[in-house]
Amino acid sequence: GKISRKTKGATNVMVVTDRAAVLGNQMDEESGPHEKVSFIGQVPVRIKGEVRSGDWIVPSDDNDGTGIAIAHNALTLNHQVVGQAWESSSDPGIKRVNTAVGLDQSEVLKHIIKSQQDQIDELRSMLLEVRSGLTDLGSTR
């Protein structure tokens, strides 16, 4: 329930923004300092490095409030997905990128499972080639 730039071990990773589409539990000035957090919608997210539209956005792990882009085939269960980039940039520095946040996590899991299945299929194909080569080697003796 607290806002921090430290993302390692966080239960949820969200976006502090000046453009939240939906605000909940808004506090008055007397309740102390507060931040606007986006739970769902399109918001600009501070991204380090190159990003392609469709990449997954995850925390940079630099504890500075920035994210990085991860391609679909590189996403793992260890990544904390913040959202999905809706625009591209080749700028290697920090820039604001329009990002869809509050995604259904089952979509993220579908992409991870597909990537893992593709890797399994490739390994299976390689194994069949090795077996075939061993069979051929045994029949030439």
The per-residue pLDDT for 30 is: 65
* Per-residue confidence (pLDDT) for residue 110, from 0 to 100: 78
Cβ–Cβ < 8 Å for 107, 74: no
Q: What angle do CA 135, 136, 141 make, to 5 degrees?
A: 100
- 100's tokens: 């869809």
Q: Which stretch of 30-34, 86-90, 136-140 has the lowest confidence by average pLDDT?
A: 30-34
At residue 7, φ and ψ (nearest 5 deg) are -105, -20
Q: Which residues of 5-42 are buried (b: 16+ CB within 10 A; e: fewer)?
A: eebeeeeebbbebeebeeeeeeeeeeeeeeeebbeebe
- How confident is the model at residue 25, as a pLDDT? 60
Please give the full DSSP string across 63-91, using - where no structure is assigned.
SSS-EEEE-GGG--TTS---EEESS-B--
**Residue 46: pLDDT over 70:** yes
The predicted pLDDT at position 27 comes to 61
Predicted local confidence at residue 57, as pLDDT: 93
